[in-house]
Amino acid sequence: MKIVDLLKKESIDLNGTVSDKKETIEKMVSLMAAGGNITDVERYKEGVFLREEEGTTGIGEGIAIPHAKTDAVAKPGLAAMVVKDGVDYDSLDGEPVHLIFLIAAPNTEDNVHLEVLSRLSMLLMDDDFRANLQSAESVEEFLGYIDAAEKAKFPDEAEQEEKREEKPAEKTGYQILAVTACPTGIAHTYMAAESLENKAKEMGYTIKVETNGSGGDKNVLTAEEIAACDCIIIAADKDVRMARFDGKPVIMTKVANGISKAEELITKAMSGEVPVYHNKGGEEASMSSEGESLGRKIYKSLMNGVSHMLPFVIGGGILIALSFLVDAGNAGTDTFGNGTPLAHFLNTVGNTSFGMMFPVLAGYIAMAIGDRPALMPGIVGGLLAKAGTSIFLPEEKWISSGFFGALIAGFVAGYLMLLIKKLLEKLPKALEGTKPVLLYPFFGILAMGAIMIFLVNPPVGAFNTWLYNGLAGMGESSKVLLGALLGGMMSIDFGGPFNKAAYVFGTAAIGSGQFDIMAAVMIGGMTPPIGIALATTFFKSRFTKSEQQTSITNYIMGLSFITEGAIPFAASDPLRIIPPCVVGSAVAGALSMAFGCGSRAPHGGIFVVGIMEHAPMFLLALVIGSIITMAGIVLLKKPLTDQTK
């Protein structure tokens, strides 16, 4: 959002005369009001002064950038004033302020004020630019200096603007917009984005793809782009904010289809036959709430919980594993993992993070179903599942209902909150404000506590005890079969429901001390990309040049425990790729179990081998499984002819 576009001539004063900070802000607010951006001047002014109470916006170097984000703002705007004699603004450097920019931002999720604040700060770091603004003799000259500075600072933006000006007859914006998102926010999200972008370019269409990855939303779609586009593709296996797409044709599908069916999706998007989406859930509406089967909604709610849970599990699990590594001298003792100050520190922090697994899982499953009010009872339910609270037993005999209890808590809390909302929707409007801060928390926690303590924890805790004892008492042959099953599941759909089910089972097993299960799961996920990479390296004649070029990428993804590297190959030739991958992963998982390998870390691949139990045997099992995968692919795939390369 360009600075020069937000500044109106009537909101600029080049000869400001003010005596103190209060008068300066009042003058700036009147300039902002003159630009027509504010619906309630007093409320906006109150917001600006409240922001100043948190800390001065006089940033030094003669600059102040006051701002407020409030419902009193109709649309984003800027006001500017030059105070040639300076004014005492309580600046950080104690010097007078000569140049003031006031930002007005509407109370939306876009955080326009932060974007404008960042942009202004970068421009105002230039001494010459500040001097030019302070010496400008006309508003036109003032705006000209800003326009020139923005073009110099953001050349790509200026180039795009020039191109638009050269072709005024062409439609601006993108023909297709898309959002990609997967539960972990790592591989599928970006692979789907790349597939859609490449296919759209190949077909001659313009597209912009927003990725909802683990590092946050990137390349976010703007309101202007949404308004101008022809169709929107949502390729996601977790919640996506949908209210912004109201009134636009929208295709909703799985993230895997964004990878393997990009051409089909783009063709459909440009067909003109896509139904128009109508938002029915208010600002909190998400993809899972509308237009999908019950099974799909349940799966996506679960994946929403898993995606938020995984960072806690992975980070905490690796720290716990490191605590045992640095405390190797106390192996076999009661203090193992806590025997040194460093080990105790790592173990404490790791267990704290790992312990958040159940409340976060339950909370975000609930939120996917019942929106924000359901987050609170979901988290409480997850905590009760972790504690195993029961009034039928003394505290020392409480048995955690664990992962399954948290899973149940998440879904119960979500649908419970939908019921509570329904029951309270006919209350007088005067009580509307009490719902989110009083009624929802009170009834949500009360009902959730009763359900978990009386109905969920006793039977599920008993089931957990039975399951733990059963796994612990498994014979060698049974464990090998379990390892083969879990390893094979990791390769059936490469990040899909089977893969996620096996992985979540592995992470839950860590909490009960079943580290061999996690090792079998991890090796099963590492084998397919490495096996495919070996095949493309040593048997090039069976692959196209573009497939051969992915060898290095697949080695890296496989060693990093990112199974999704196999997806492009599986999508293009499933009958010759998937079976060898399943067999290779199953063999690797079985061997890992047979060798007694164990992993306290729930992720990391080759990077956590050093803290695994029987690490050399784990690597041997990985090599054997990968070679079997390669051999199976080579046997099933024939060398390509010149016409098929």
Number of C-beta neighbours around residue 35 at 10 A: 19
- Residue 22's nearest CA partner among 88, 75, 114 is 88
Q: 543-553 b/e with 16+ CB inside 10 Å = b?
A: beeebeebbee
- Residue 49's nearest CA partner among 76, 69, 22 is 22
The backbone region for 470, taken as left when phi is positive above 0, alpha when psi lies in -120 to 50, beta otherwise, is alpha
Indicate the DSSP class of residue 613: B
CA distance 180 to 188: 8
Cβ contact 386:359 at 8 Å:
yes
3-class state of residue 266 by DSSP: helix
Cβ contact 436:373 at 8 Å:
yes
Would you call 231 a catalytic residue per the annotation?
Answer: no
Q: Tell me how far the alpha carbon of residue 3 is from its chain's centroid.
A: 30
CA distance 222 to 114: 15
- Tokens 């972008």 belong to 197
Which phi and psi (to 5°) does residue 314 adopt? -65, -50
- Tokens 């697994």 belong to 357
Cβ contact 645:637 at 8 Å:
no
Cβ contact 382:367 at 8 Å:
no
Residue tagged active-site, from 67, 113, 308, 603: 67
Residue tagged active-site, from 182, 229, 581, 597: 182
CA–CA–CA angle 564, 565, 570 (5° rounding):
85
- Tokens 């998982």 belong to 589
CA distance 135 to 312: 54
Would you call 182 a catalytic residue per the annotation?
Answer: yes
- Residue 179's nearest CA partner among 223, 237, 248 is 237
CA distance 231 to 473: 56
Number of C-beta neighbours around residue 144 at 10 A: 14
Which phi and psi (to 5°) does residue 614 adopt? 55, 50
Give catalytic residue positions: 67, 182
